[in-house]
């Protein structure tokens, strides 16, 4: 075969190999931790009572899952200015905590129900530079510490002693910030987090822009450098796992809300509120299992 023909054949072969490799790369999934949680079902989320957050409760045994929404705020609480409730959580000994915020002011409120059914309120005065919103709480597996976050684009979570569980807390005293979780990647509009282990959280983000991780409304995983305590700050490594389901009969903007991991069944649940009129008809609590 003449040299020129052989050179042309090699060039064509090289081009075919390059095109094939490019096509395979384009078809392959992105190199990330995506799709580690698989959707297995959903339930309608009532817009008044199941549209903000949810949590599974282990004590007492066979307790029903609990939800929050505008319709779950007691009248006596809302008339004192605490007119927004976020994503709640429950400690493994049965203390149930709801986060509240007001339209203005310098404090947040955490409403706590003890295992005996009694309610109490704990007020947290904002730390310097802390945002007013109070979207979620996540109680550590040992029950002693509670993480909370701020709206907007943030690189931290706040650590507070768990009200009603940590012996240092009292309804008659300020609930102070004890430490900080510094994140290695910015997150936006986190609506809920829940502990999976002592050093791993799953979080639902209502991020509408999609510029931080390449898609909107991501399910996030945050791996901590150590279990949170009130004596030392820790760091958190953030990974985007997948986009939350965005399905509705209506078009428009969805809102990702609260999240819960039930360690008894290994089930993850996330609320996604539908746009427009469909907020009434097809908002969902989606269920996932680890794949």
Choice among 29-43, 61-75, 117-131, 252-266 with the minimum mean pLDDT: 29-43
Tell me the per-residue pLDDT of 124-171, one tens digit each, with 9 for 90 and over: 999 999 999 999 999 999 999 999 999 999 999 999 999 999 999 999
Q: How far apart are CA 175 and CA 168, in angstroms?
A: 9
Q: Where in the chain are the domains? A: 36-290
| pLDDT score recorded for residue 7 | 36
Is residue 86 predicted with pLDDT exceeding 60? yes
**Element of type H or E holding 260:** strand 255-262
Q: Is 203 left (phi over 0), alpha (psi -120 to 50) or beta?
A: beta
pLDDT of residue 276: 97
> Residue 20: pLDDT above 80?
no
- With 70 as the cut, is the pLDDT of residue 31 above it? no
Dihedral Cα 96, 107, 269, 140, nearest 10 deg: -60
Please, what is the average pLDDT of the chain? 90
The pLDDT of residue 28: 31
Q: How far apart are CA 277 and CA 37, in angstroms?
A: 29
Question: Which of 13-27, 153-167, 217-231, 233-247 has the weakest average pLDDT?
Answer: 13-27
> Which structure tokens are listed for 173?
């005293």
CATH no. for 36-290: 2.120.10
- At which residue do the structure tokens 């009434």 appear? 280
Share of the chain above pLDDT 90, in %: 86
What residues contact 280, with CB distance under 8 A and at least 6 apart?
47
Query: Measuring CA to CA, how many Å separate 81 from each of 28, 53, 231, 289?
Result: 51, 20, 33, 38
**Per-residue pLDDT for 260 more than 60?**
yes
Cα(57)–Cα(55) distance, rounded to whole angstroms?
Answer: 6
pLDDT in the model for residue 32: 38
Confidence (pLDDT) at 29? 31
């Amino acid at each position: 075969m003449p040299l020129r023909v052989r050179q042309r054949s090699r060039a064509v072969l090289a081009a075919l190999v390059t095109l094939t490799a490019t096509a395979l790369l384009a078809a392959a999934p992105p190199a990330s931790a995506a799709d580690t949680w698989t959707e297995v079902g959903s339930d309608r989320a009532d817009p008044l009572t199941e549209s903000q957050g949810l949590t599974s409760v282990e004590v007492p045994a066979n307790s029903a899952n609990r939800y929050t929404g505008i319709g779950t705020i007691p009248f006596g609480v809302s008339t004192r200015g605490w007119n927004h409730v976020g994503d709640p959580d429950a400690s493994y000994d049965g203390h149930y905590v709801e986060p509240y915020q007001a339209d203005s002011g310098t404090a947040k409120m955490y409403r706590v129900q003890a295992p005996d059914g009694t309610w109490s309120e704990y007020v947290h005065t904002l730390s310097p530079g802390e945002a007013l919103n109070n979207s979620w709480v996540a109680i550590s597996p040992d029950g002693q510490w509670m993480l909370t976050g701020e709206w907007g684009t943030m690189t931290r979570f706040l650590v507070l002693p768990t009200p009603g569980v940590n012996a240092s807390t009292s309804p008659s005293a300020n609930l102070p910030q004890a430490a900080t979780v510094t994140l290695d990647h910015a997150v936006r509009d986190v609506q809920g987090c829940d502990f999976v282990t002592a050093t791993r959280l799953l979080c639902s983000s209502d991020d509408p822009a999609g510029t931080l991780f390449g898609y909107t409304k991501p399910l996030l995983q945050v791996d901590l450098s150590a279990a949170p305590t009130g004596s030392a700050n820790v760091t958190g490594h953030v990974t985007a796992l997948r986009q939350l389901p965005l399905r509705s009969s209506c078009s428009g903007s969805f809102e990702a809300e609260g999240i819960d991991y039930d360690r008894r069944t290994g089930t993850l649940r996330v609320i996604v509120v539908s746009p427009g009129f469909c907020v009434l008809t097809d908002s969902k609590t989606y269920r996932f299992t680890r794949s």
